[in-house]
Structure 1
Amino acid sequence: MHHTAIDKPRIAHIWYTYDTTLAETNPHSYTRLDLDAILTGASSVGKSSLLLRFTDETFLSPDETSATIGVDFKVKVIERKNKRWKLSIWDTAGQERFRTLTSSYYRGAQGVILVYDITARDTFESLTSWIAELDTFAGTGSGAKEVVRMIVGNKTDREFSRVVSTAEGEAFAQAQNPPWLFMECSAKKGGEDVTGEDGLFSRVVDKIVETPSLYMKNNIGVNSINKKGPPGQFPSGTVNLDEAEESGGGWCAC
């Protein structure tokens, strides 16, 4: 589910939020390296809600949302290991008619977050096909491309309707080759599981950061010190995804 209906041309809203505290106390500690992650999984599992909770600390009810069309994304700058990381998170549509479009975004991703709904078994059973799609681009086993992989069971706030146990989800993640990270959470409740230091997005970033070869290629020539001084608060913006793809914009993960 997504909070903004999107018609062609596809428009992605971007929110830039910077905490200036670190830069003010130690300007040389300010860095901003680029990371790319993709949210994928069946329709209506709550991918967009997880992203909105992480970037804006907000949750919208089903009445306020509509299905993502194509691909949308947000950007958030976070601090990990004394560096600032500009995390671009690509939120993909789960409908079958968009699978060809969204699958192309696997190529540039350093992290993949595959989401299912713990109250809908069909979304859990569909994980196999989503993983097969990723394997087409990233490979399997010892020859697999380096990419951080996490399976997330969403909607733990609806425990009374649960049909996929935690143990079943974790066992499935561990059975993959290579094994996937696993956790459960609730976009509705939010909290540490989504936005915290050990939340799902932070865990993915930490794993990427532990593997320099994953992010160094994307950041060749990046100046780690902001010559213009500490950044402030930037307003919301929009990017025309179609125009960016045509112009070969460097931010596109496809």
Structure 2
Amino acid sequence: MGVGKSCLLHQFTEKKFMADCPHTIGVEFGTRIIEVSGQKIKLQIWDTAGQERFRAVTRSYYRGAAGALMVYDITRRSTYNHLSSWLTDARNLTNPNTVIFLIGNKSDLEAQRDVTYEEAKQFADENGLMFLECSAKTGDNVEDAFLDTAKKIYQNIQDGSLDLNAAESGVQHKPAQPRTPLNTDQQPSKEGCQC
């Protein structure tokens, strides 16, 4: 709770910092269309509450997730210490090929740092997680965290480790709509034409 998950999402979707961000109750979501390898992709990002009393609710959102961003506050060791528990939930409740990205938020508060970059990087490496430190306030590395997660999900689709046809993949494929060819045989009527 209070690590800045909603602020990270707001920075990614709106490109601005929300200073007085209220605690998330249950779940909220945001969307953004990005481009990966020439493909337009709509990201639907679920922002779950970090409070323990909502944990049963948030667990249900792991199912069908193609990616998960686990966030801790670099200035509060207690948030880092809970990562193993959150990771266990994520691993137990998601597809084995779900991309999990560890984010150390509030990197703009270097003077108040309570968790070193090196120990968090080691935790990420030992657990096969992608890792970055970010600042929802300054926007530093926020774009990279979300885009790198999306690129890895896309890569998993391309190499076949994420099956688009499986409901639990968390990915919906929407083929491009075929363009309707113009019928050049018909000429518009000149009478009453407003062209």
Sort the TM-score into its range (normalised by shorter chain): 0.7 to 0.9
Which residue among 148, 160, 164 is the counterpart of 2:111? 160
Structure 1 residue 227: Cα displacement: 4.8
TM-score w.r.t. structure 1 length? 0.65
8 Å contact kept, 2:6–2:21: no
Q: Which runs of 5+ in 1 are unaligned?
A: 1-42, 139-143, 229-254
Structure 2 match to 1:150: 101
Q: Determine if the alignment matches structure 1 residue 184 to structure 2 residue 140.
A: no
2: CA distance, partners of 1:57 / 1:66: 18
Q: CA deviation at 1:174?
A: 1.0
Q: Percent identity?
A: 41
Counterpart amino acid of residue 72 in structure 1: E
**Distance in 2 between the 1:93 and 1:102 partners?**
7
Q: How does 1:21-170 map to 2 (within 5 A)?
A: 43-61=1-19, 64-138=20-94, 145-170=96-121
Equivalent-residue separation in structure 1 for 2:76 and 2:82 (angstroms) = 10
Amino acid at match of 2:3: V
Query: What amino acid does structure 1 have at the position aligned with 2:116?
Result: S
How far apart are the structure 2 equivalents of 1:160 and 1:226?
Answer: 55
SS in 2 for 1:87: strand
Contact kept in structure 1, 2:10 and 2:16, CA below 8 Å: yes
- Residue deviations 1:178-216 (CA, integer Å, cap 9, x gap): x1011101000104x112xxx000000010010114262
Structure 2 distance, partners of 1:125, 1:132, is 13
Alignment partners' CA distance in 1, 2:86 and 2:59: 9
Distance 2:153 2:163 in 1: 7
| C-alpha RMSD over aligned residues | 1.6
In the alignment, structure 2 segments of 5+ residues that lack a partner are 166-170, 181-195
How many pairs were matched up? 172
**Structure-2 separation of matches of 1:78 and 1:224:** 16
Tell me how far 1:155 sits from its aligned partner.
Answer: 0.2
**Paired residues of 1:209 and 1:215 also in contact (CA < 8 A):** no
Match of 1:211 among 122, 132, 156: 156
Q: Distance in 2 between matches of 1:92 and 1:74?
A: 11
**2: distance between equivalents of 1:105 and 1:60?**
24
- How many Å separate the matches in 2 of 1:150 and 1:47? 13
User: In structure 2, what residue type is equivalent to 1:120?
Assistant: R
Q: Which residue of structure 2 aligns with residue 223 of structure 1?
A: 175
Q: Which runs of 4+ in 1 moved over 4 A?
A: none
What's the CA shift for 1:60?
1.6
The answer as to whether partners of 2:104 and 2:132 remain within 8 angstroms in 1 is yes
**What is residue 251 of structure 1 aligned with on the other side?**
none
